[in-house]
Amino acid sequence: MAMSEYPKEHYIELENNPYLMGRIAINQVKNEFIAEVDIIHQESHKIYHHVDILYSGYTAEEALISGVQRLRRFFEALEKDKT
């Protein structure tokens, strides 16, 4: 993929919350892919909570998978803190 095709945003619906959703934004810097992981407002797409930035993805797909895993770990930690 050419550098002009980035950033690419991928959205993840959140169970139990119709107002927020997860967003994984994939960017390419030279030969590296970076995943920015956020929770955003569904209507305005403004950032509600910044979760993490993941560096050193070798492919866009790897960066996306890492981003999804990081978002999942974030929610698992929230659930663990509630108990």
Question: How is residue 3 written in tokens?
Answer: 């550098």
Residue given tokens 């993490």 in the structure block: 52
Q: pLDDT of 19-63, one tens digit each?
A: 999 999 999 999 999 999 999 999 999 999 999 999 988 999 999
61-74 average pLDDT score: 96
Contact assessment for residue 41 and residue 61, using Cβ atoms and an 8 Å cutoff: no
Contact assessment for residue 24 and residue 54, using Cβ atoms and an 8 Å cutoff: no
Tell me what pLDDT residue 82 has: 77
Contact assessment for residue 41 and residue 19, using Cβ atoms and an 8 Å cutoff: yes
Name which of 77, 70, 69 is nearest 50 in CA terms: 70
Predicted structure pTM score: 0.88
65 or 81, greater pLDDT: 65
